[in-house]
Structure formats: structure tokens, C-alpha cells
A and B are shown apart, each in its own frame.
Chain A
Amino acid sequence: MSTMSMTASKLLAKMSSGEISSEEITSACLNEISRRDASINAFLSVQQEAALEKAREVDQKRKAGKPLGKLAGIPIALKDNICTEGVNTTCASKMLEHFVPPYDAHIVERLKAADAVLIGKTNQDEFAMGSSTENSAFKTTTNPWNNTCAAGGSSGGSAAAVAAGFAPLALGSDTGGSIRQPASFCGVVGLKPTYGRVSRYGLIAFASSLDQIGPFARDVTDAALIMETIAGKDHRDTTSLDAAVPEFTSKLEQPLENLKVGYVEHLQEEGLHEEVKEATLRALDVYKSLGAELVPIELPHAKYCVATYYIIAPSEASSNLARYDGVHYGYRAKDFENMIDMYAASRGEAFGDEVKRRIMLGTYALSSGYYDAYYLKALKVRRLIRNDFEQAFQSVDIIASPVTPTPAFTIGELVDDPLAMYLADIFTTSANLSGIPGISIPAGFSQNNLPIGLQLLAPPLEEERLLRAARMFERETEWHLKHPK
């Protein structure tokens, strides 16, 4: 097995036994990036010198027998909407093309304290709005399994980086599926934690009541490992939860007893790809073979998730993105007539089509005369959607479903049809609307050799249960061991 396909836990073990150094691992990642990222486009920037310097520092600390952080010497890629002090953070937008944050995001402080090696910033849909990274102002990430296919989005660069062997771990953000969907498309593990589990301080805001940071990893153990570092209360994000953070890796190998797996019968049959459906049914069989009970459940409002999401998320976005005014930071137009015109020209020139579309939709939904019919209505349906989950979790421990209706679509296939692109979020938005944790794990391949993911959902703050259930499946299967050529 080459270094490039090893998990972070394996690399940590090899570093502590002296078989390999962080500098060797980091150099190997950097070499792969310079050799192959021109065709994959996972990264918007690579911090080569800083990464190597940190790696050498960790190696020296290790040699000297000094205490080391939990992720000591492990290269990690960060989505480019996560603020890194002194390192360009663009959100894949012309608006922030030259933005250099004056501070670190909370999770970046945590990763630095854990001695992780921050290797680069990954491509995404502009302001995390999209499902394919095609909305990036700079480049489109290709799927490491097939370069004509999308890597997914919005955290497509982070998913592709882990799948392609550029970094064993990456972080992304998930507002309506932006971690789970690209993880599914690229055949890696992607976890969206409970809303509030990970501080959003320093995450460039898209839709604040839905945004959540989470990891991409090559297996469930690594996802559990990095969660131990990034989860926990931070007073700078008032929505971050004051709940104890379990040592997620400690019970990971213990199967859950009397596990009840809920599933929805005839869930969104229309538009559901046959191979995705088969993979989901096969996954349910795996749980059954492990002694779990399969329980059919009802989520009567599931079909309203996308409509609800595409009112709430754009509404919040229209408010959050009002800060880009060409005054304090970001792009300012050259030609304008007055102050108001400067705002409009700067925003009109620097935002891409999808961002404009969402700002327009959100402004429309919040505008006088439409507020009750759209925004308020959506907030009410949001409660109905969450009530469905509360009801379901009274009789099951986790819920299993597809992540996406199809395997990775072709680049360009949906880009001109926003509604069709939105409808691909049918299985993922409900977790964000309800605030519950969700994970995508590798669960099969299509005939065209494209990965297919399985989504598992758990009640709020039950990441430990979610990860253990995911690990049960992973132990029985080998999908996560496959790597693109």
C-alpha cells in the first residue's frame, strides 16, 4: 500500500514507530499534487513551504520526545471558505480573490494546536453554493474516478483531494449536503456533524442556521479521529453547543447491540438511479446480516425538503452576503456613479451566476409582501420536517438512505438547469434543516466504476452512534479500500 492511500491513523502509527517522518509524508502529498492536480483541480492554493516547515518541526519534536498533538504531522486540506491567518481565503469567488484573513477560524486554531500540517486550500462552489464546484470562479474540480464527471460540491476540492491521494484528511462545510454529496461522488467518508457541534467561527457564512464544518476521510476511524480535535464549544460562535465531546475513536470497534436501522420504503422512487437503489438495499442487507433490525419508517414531509431548503438557504445567504459592499474588504468596481452604484457594480461584477441567483431568490422571499408566503411558510415546514425525524427516532437508532439520486453526473450536465441541480439535494438537505448529524460512507460502484455512497442519519449529538454504525458497515465491506487509478 502506498503512502498516498494510507489512512491518517495508519500514518500516525508509522510515524510513532519511526518508519516514516512527517516530512516524507508531506513531501509525498506535495509531489502528488504537483504531478496530478493540474488535471483534478482540487486545490486553489498549496502552502508548500509552510507545510514542510511544520512537518519538520513535528519531526524534531517527535525526535526530542516532546509532547505531540493528536494529528501530529498529518497533512490536512481545508476548504477555501475556512479562514486561515495570513493565507489567501477566496471562497472561490472573484469577490474575495485577494482576501487574506487577519485571523484563524476556530478549527484552524484547533488543528494547529493538534500539530496538523495544513497543506492547502481546496476548490469549492463559490460561497459554497452548488453541487459540482462548477460555480467556482477559478476552476472546476474533476472526479478522481473519471475526469469527465463532477467531484460534487460544494466541497468538491476537499473530497477529490482525499480520494486522489493528495491528503489523508480534509475539511469542508455542509449547508445542504456539501460534504456528504461530494464524499459520495468521490468514494470517501464525509461527515456532517450536528448543527453546533463544531464552531463556525471563521467559516465564511453562507446560511448560518444550516452551515456546519465537517471532515472528509479515507475511513470512518479517521473521521472519528479528527472530530475529537475539531468538535466542542467555542464562545465566539454562540450557536456552538455546550455538550461533552466523546472520544469518538474509543468505542468505534464495538458494534451497536440491538441496532434498529430505519429506512423509508419507496423513497423518492422517481429519479432514483437503479444502481443507487440497489446499493442502498444491499447496505440494508449488510446491517441485517449483522443482526440489526430493519424498520420501515415514514418521513411524510421529506418531499418538501428541497423546496423548504431553497427558501431558507437563499434567504439567509442574501442577508449574509450583504456584507460584500466593496468597502471593508473584497472587490470594488472601477467605474461607478455614486455610493449605491458602487455597491451594485461591485457586487454585479464580482459575484458569479449562482450566487446572484441565490441572493435574488432570498431577497425575493424576504421582501415586503412575500415574507409570510415564502420565508415564514418555509420556517413552519422546517419544523414539520424536524418533527418527522423526532418521531422516527423514537423507534429507530439510525436512518439509512441514498446520499444522492445518481452517481456523479457529467461536468456540464446540470449547470444550465438550476432547478435540476437543486433537486439532486433531495436526500441531504433534511439533515441540515433538522440539525441532525449525517455521514456518507462508500457503499458500492456503478457499472461505469463511479462510487456510490450510503447515508446514515442519527439524532442530534449522536455522532458516536453514527460513527459506530458506519464502522459496523465498513468492517463488513471493502468499498472504502478501493482507490482511483
Chain B
Amino acid sequence: MSTQLPEDDVLKVASLSRLKLSETEVNALGKQMGSVLKYIAMLDELDTESIEPMAHAIEISNVFREDQLQESLPRDKALSNAPQTDGNYFLVPAIL
């Protein structure tokens, strides 16, 4: 049985991931993801019906702090790494 992930699936996941891939990449990813998913399937051996999922290594929740006014990053610094700005805003291509 082939373990390759079908091309349609690869393309769907690429679209969800916002990744533009070349044809070569799509082929390679189909094979590589297929083999990793086949390996991962070993988890199916385990009965985990009654196990609580564990999202975090050290389970702490509801971490609060005082709601104090703090300085935020100045505009020029926040914009300093942007690919395109007008000095006040991040610029993006027209959406509509």
C-alpha cells in the first residue's frame, strides 16, 4: 500500500497553510508527510478513551496580573521591520 498523501490533500493543506509550493515540493511533501503519518499511526494502538488531554507541560491556568498602564512599543519601532509602510501605517495590497 502506498503511504503517499494524495496530491489533492497536499494542495488543500498548502492552501490552508498559505504556502505556495512548486510541483516538486508538492510531490516530495506527499511522500514525506505520508511516511511520517504512517509512523504516527502507531498511537492508534493505545486506548486513550478515558485519558484527559494534556495541553501544557506544567498545567497552570488563569494567570492574572494587575491591569496597570504600561508603555507600549513606540510607533516608529513597531514599524521599523515592516516590508512597506507610509511612516504611520503598515501598507498592504488593495483588498477590495
**Known A327-B90, A361-B33; contact A380-B52, beta-carbon cutoff 8 A:** yes
Complex-state Cα separation, A310 to B43, whole angstroms: 12
Count contacts on A: residues with CB < 8 A to the other chain. 73
Q: Is B58 an interface residue (CB 8 A)?
A: yes
**Known A102-B80, A332-B84, A357-B32; contact A347-B19, beta-carbon cutoff 8 A:** yes
Chain B residues, Cβ within 8 Å of A311 = 40, 43
**Known A332-B84, A351-B19; contact A380-B13, beta-carbon cutoff 8 A:** no
Complex-state Cα separation, A192 to B17, whole angstroms: 31
**Known A102-B78, A360-B13; contact A435-B53, beta-carbon cutoff 8 A:** no
Interface residues of B in 52-82 (CB under 8 A from A): 52-58, 60, 63, 65, 73, 77-78, 80-82
Q: Which of A310, A322, A382, A460 contacts B40 (CB 8 A)?
A: A310
Chain B residues, Cβ within 8 Å of A131 = none
Q: Is A374 an interface residue (CB 8 A)?
A: yes
B60 near A340: Cβ-Cβ < 8 Å: no
Chain A residues, Cβ within 8 Å of B93 = 336, 338-339, 342
Q: Which of A235, A308, A376, A419 contacts B65 (CB 8 A)?
A: A235
Contact with B along A196-216 (1 / 0, CB 8 A): 100000000000011000000
Q: Is A106 an interface residue (CB 8 A)?
A: no
Chain A residues, Cβ within 8 Å of B33 = 357, 360-361, 364
Interface residues of A in 138-183 (CB under 8 A from B): none
Interface residues of A in 60-96 (CB under 8 A from B): none
A345 near B20: Cβ-Cβ < 8 Å: yes
Q: Is A393 an interface residue (CB 8 A)?
A: no
Q: Is A409 an interface residue (CB 8 A)?
A: no
B57 near A434: Cβ-Cβ < 8 Å: yes
Interface residues on B, range: 35 or more
Q: Which of B17, B36, B83 contacts A422 (CB 8 A)?
A: B36
- Most B-side CB within 10 Å, residue of A322, A345, A376, A377: A377
A386 near B58: Cβ-Cβ < 8 Å: no
Chain B residues, Cβ within 8 Å of A306 = 39
Which chain B residue shows the least CB distance to A306? B39
Least CB distance, A455 to chain B, in whole angstroms: 17
B53 near A367: Cβ-Cβ < 8 Å: no
A363 near B43: Cβ-Cβ < 8 Å: no
Chain A residues, Cβ within 8 Å of B48 = 377, 380-381, 384
Chain A residues, Cβ within 8 Å of B10 = 360
B63 near A238: Cβ-Cβ < 8 Å: yes
Complex-state Cα separation, A99 to B37, whole angstroms: 34
Chain A residues, Cβ within 8 Å of B43 = 304, 307-308, 311, 377-378, 381
A344 near B36: Cβ-Cβ < 8 Å: no
**Known A356-B25, A357-B29, A381-B48; contact A307-B18, beta-carbon cutoff 8 A:** no
Q: Which of A194, A327, A330 contacts B58 (CB 8 A)?
A: A194
Least CB distance, B13 to chain A, in whole angstroms: 5
5 contacts between A and B (CB under 8 A): A195-B56, A239-B56, A347-B19, A367-B13, A384-B48
Besides A332-B84, A356-B21, A418-B32, 18 more A-B contacts (Cβ < 8 Å) are: A102-B77, A102-B81, A238-B63, A318-B17, A322-B18, A327-B90, A328-B81, A330-B81, A332-B83, A348-B20, A353-B28, A357-B32, A376-B53, A379-B54, A380-B48, A381-B46, A383-B53, A386-B54
Closest A-B pairs by Cβ, 9 of them: A435-B57, A348-B20, A379-B53, A329-B81, A332-B83, A380-B48, A383-B54, A195-B57, A102-B77
